Structure 1
Amino acid sequence: MRKYKRIFLVVIDSLGIGAMKDAAEYGDAGADTLGHIDQTVKELKLPAMEKLGLGNLCTLSHVAPSDHPLGYYARLNEASLGKDTMTGHWEMMGLHITTPFKTFTEHGFPPELIHELEERTGHKIVGNRSESGTKILDDLGEHQIRTGDMIVYTSADSVLQIAGHEETFGLDELYRCCEIAREITMKDEWKVGRVIARPYVGRKKGEFKRTPNRHDYAVSPFGKTALDILKDAGYDVISVGKIADIFNNQGITEKYHSDSSVQGMEQTIEIAKRDFHGLTFVNLVDFDALWGHRRNPEGYGRELEKFDEKLTQLLPLIREDDLLMITADHGNDPTYTGTDHTREQTPLLIYSPGLKGGQLPVQDTFAVSGATILDNFRLSPAEGMIGHTLGGLLA
Structure 2
Amino acid sequence: MTMIPLNSLARHVEGMQAAISRAAVEVIASGHYVLGPRVVAFERDFAAYCGVSHCVGVANGTDALELALKAVGVAPGDTVAVAANAAMYGTSAALAAGARVAFVDVEPCIGTLDPSGLRRLLESEPAPKAVIVTHLYGRLARMDEILRLARDAGVRVVEDCAQAHGARAADGRRAGALGDVASFSFYPTKNLGALGDGGAIVTDDAGIAAQASRLRQYGWTAKYTNTVPGGRNSRLDEIQAAMLSVMLPMLDGWNERRRLTANRYSQEIQNPRIQVPPVAGEDYVAHLYVVCSPERDALRTHLTACGVQSEPHYPAADHRQPCHGGRFADIVLPVTEMQCEQVLSLPCFPEITDEEVESVIDACNRF
Structure 1 length-normalised TM:
0.29
Higher RCO (C-alpha 8 Å, min separation 6): 1
Name whichever structure is richer in helix by fraction.
Answer: 2
